[in-house]
Amino acid sequence: MKKTLFIVLLLASFSGKSQKSSLNIIPQPVEIEQTAGLFTLTKSTIISYNNASARSVADMLVQKLNTPTGFLLKTQEGKGGAIQLILNETNNDNIGKEGYTIVSTTKAVIVSANTTAGLFYGIQTLVQLLPKEIEAKAVAKSSWTIPAVKITDYPRFAWRGIMFDVSRNFFSKEDVKKYIDQLARMKYNTFHWHLTDDEGWRIEIKSLPKLTQVGAFRVPRSGHFGDRAIPKDGEAATVGGFYTQDDIREVVAYAQDRNVTIVPEIDVPGHSMAAIAAYPELSCNKNPKTFVNPGAAMADWYGNGTFKMLYENTLNPSDEKVYEFLDKVFTEVATLFPNKYIHVGGDECYKGFWAADEGCQALMKQLNIRHVEDLQGYFMNRLEKILKAKGKKLLGWDEILEGGISPEATVMSWRGIKGGIEAAKMGHDVVMTPTTFAYLDYNQGEATIDPPIYAGLRVSKSYSFEPVPDGVDAKYILGGQGNMWTEQIPSLRYAEYMSYPRVWALADVYWSPKASKNWDNFAKRMEAHFERADLAQVNYSRAVYDAIVKTTLKDNKLSLELGTELSDLDIYYTIDDTMPDSFSPKYSSIVDLPEGPITLRVITYRSGKPIGHLITLKRADLEKRASK
């Protein structure tokens, strides 16, 4: 079938060298050589480890294998097992700290690495070499075989992360651990935990109890986020929750066992409405009626990136009590998270309340600065000194570049890649996480199918992401991450739906060699993982099977252009108010639509069977999306 030009270009834009292996591993290993034969896992198979520090990895593997196989597999120290986990006695420089090798034959499987992290990633690949039934939640029937292979694998980037927002909607520690477990299996090593925002403060700070007593709860509301009513006078705030410090320690330890570093985010000086609701004196206006936002509209947006806040949600940079507050917060945060980074937000900070505040104006005069925007630079430098005193490095969204930051600060580029390029050229370490490729709360396909959100991001677009821009020294690009904002995501089940398969695509981007990128190859592996996810009871989107509908309006003539992300789908459509099937017109080239009221209905088929959602659009809808 002739595909439309925009889809051909989309697929061709990242049609790199394909791996010859038929194995469906995500992320794609660096080198795979498949040979003849199979290793068969039986109830008598022993899993051995040659170093006591590798025992926990061996135990995890046994735990994963025993449920679906029904075997009672055991581990033993030494090198005598049919499956051997080997910590190298002599360092293998080729694979580094997180790499591994796998050699499987008909007689044995040997996973080798320099570190326990490498062994952990090795067993993730080993599990993917087994039949899909290994993902079952109960005993399943299968031939438990592993193909004979030689694999050498190591990551492209050191930072492979996912940000999870638990402020807009609260997720239990059990949900968080389950999500971390899923990410670790895709070889992600960083979990960016967005713990505070206008909609909730989620971490216990013992020296400031109101942060969770007040800031962790909001009034109950239903409906679309951004359309909800503000609290009524006297209305009880009953929705929310927070993590005790014991909860935090438990989740941190769980993540560490899976080689995942947790980076906490305390979002300041903007996005601080929940903190101000607890302690109104931290703001410029000190309004005692400040509330935790239940999902009401917070700002007027002007379309060019500028906005005006309707409610005060910024800390007062001229008040020394704010820095005393921050010192208390970060003293306790620093003791809970052993990694070197603390994310401090810094994004979307509205300066209007500062401009009207006498204390801020006096501070500007004292500092001899003319622009209120420069107060954020002052605030961030004060905050960085607080973090340094606790042995931590400041990490923030790309707005922290405004007003100046120290060379040691690390920048997370979210407003496209421009901020990351600027930061790297200034010598800052950068994590690339642009909206255009990595925002997991965006719709994944046809906007009329999924619940509405303000933008879209297809899995093929995520897969096409290249974190190192042209002209930038790669040594400053630590890696990248995907961001899961949860305004419209109230449950873990739906978080999974929005994550996958895009999280799988980004796993390839951050781990696998750039030269191995090939969309058709990834698509095959992705579909194999759909079947694994079904057995694992993990949710995911099937938007990749849906048609892509584009229109053009020229000289009052409306033209229709259809395409698909997958190359082997057929598209059928109707405009005569009938339901399309495989006997309807089959799309092959641009269609000039007739004048007058019409309803377009589109569906995709594969091998004679329907596979995508039915898309229904009236003429007015088609005209709205037309490119002129």
pLDDT by residue (tens digit) across 545-577? Answer: 999 999 999 988 999 999 999 999 999 999 999
* Weakly modelled stretches of the chain, pLDDT under 70: 1-21, 628
Environment class of residue 177 by beta-carbon count within 10 Å: exposed (0-12), middle (13-18) or buried (19+)?
A: middle
At residue 16, the pLDDT reads: 40
Phi, psi (degrees; rounded to nearest 5) at 535 = -70, -35
- Confidence at residue 402, expressed as pLDDT on a 0 to 100 scale: 80
Phi and psi at residue 592, in whole multiples of 5°? Answer: -85, 120
Q: What pLDDT shows up at residue 404?
A: 74
Closest by CA to 65, choosing from 50, 82, 51, 86, is 82
Distance CA 114, CA 305 (A): 47
90, 162 Cβ separation under 8 angstroms? no
pLDDT in tens, 8-32: 334 444 444 333 457 999 999 999 9
Closest CA to 392 of 403, 406, 404, 378: 406
pTM of the model: 0.95
In a domain, 9, yes or no: no
Tokens of 124: 């993730």
Boundary (domain end) residue, out of 96, 126, 153: 153
CATH number of the structural domain spanning residue 607? 2.60.40
What are the tokens at 531?
Answer: 């079947």
Q: Tell me: the pLDDT tens digits for 211-243?
A: 999 999 999 999 999 999 999 999 999 999 999
**Residue 74, domain member (yes or no):** yes
- Residue 391 burial (CB count, 10 A): 8
> Does residue 377 share a domain with residue 231?
yes
pLDDT score of 225: 93
Nearest residue to 215 via CA among 191, 243, 193: 243
HSE-CB for 509 with a 13 A CA cutoff = 30
If asked whether residues 411 and 465 sit together in one domain, one would say yes
Q: Give yes or no: residues 418 and 286 share one domain.
A: yes
Q: Which of 118, 137, 153 is the last residue of a domain?
A: 153
Same domain, 234 and 297: yes
Largest CA distance in the chain: 78
**Is 424 inside any structural domain?**
yes
Establish if 124 belongs to a structural domain: yes
206 in a domain, yes or no? yes
Q: 70 in a domain, yes or no?
A: yes
Range of the domain at 564: 543-627
Strand 145-153 and strand 159-165: pairing? unpaired
Burial code of 88-111, b = ≥16 C-beta within 10 A, e = fewer?
Answer: beeebeebbebbbbbbbbeeebbb
For residues 189 and 352, give the distance between their C-alpha atoms in angstroms, rounded to a whole number. 39
* The predicted structure's pLDDT at residue 17: 38
Residue 14 lies in a domain: no
CATH classification at residue 400: 3.20.20.80
pLDDT at position 454: 87
Same domain, 426 and 568: no
Residues 250 and 394 in one domain: yes
Domain co-membership, 143 together with 237: no
Long-range pairs, 215-219, Cβ under 8 A, ≥24: 215/274, 215/275, 215/277, 215/278, 215/292, 216/170, 216/240, 216/241, 216/242, 216/274, 216/292, 217/241, 217/292, 218/291, 218/292, 218/293, 218/294, 218/295, 219/291, 219/294
**String of DSSP letters for 475-528:** GGEEEEEEEE--TT--SHHHHHHHHTTHHHHHHHHHHS-GGG-BHHHHHHHHHH
310 and 360 both lie in a single domain: yes
Catalytic residues: 197, 271, 348
Going by the DSSP 8-state scheme, the letter that residue 439 receives in this structure is B
Q: How many domains, the chain? A: 3
Q: Terminus-to-terminus CA distance in the chain, angstroms?
A: 27
One domain for residues 305 and 193 = yes
Q: What is the CB neighbour count within 10 angstroms for residue 619?
A: 18
In total, the chain counts a number of residues equal to 628
Note whether 253 and 384 are same-domain residues.
yes
Q: Are 492 and 178 in contact (CB under 8 A)?
A: yes
* Pair (129, 163) in one structural domain: no
Q: Comparing C-alpha atoms, which of 589, 593, 600 is closest to residue 8? A: 589
For residue 533, the SS3 value is helix
State the DSSP H helix or E strand holding residue 67, giving kind and residue range, or none if neither: helix 55-69
Is beta strand 341-345 parallel, antiparallel or unpaired with respect to 261-268? Answer: parallel
Residue 381 sits in the same domain as residue 431? yes
Average pLDDT, the chain: 94
Among candidate residues 153, 173, 203, the one where a domain is terminated: 153
3-class SS letters over 573-612 = EECCCCCCCCCCCECCCCEECCCCCCEEEEEEEECCEECC
Q: Which single residue is written with the structure tokens 């909206």?
A: 435
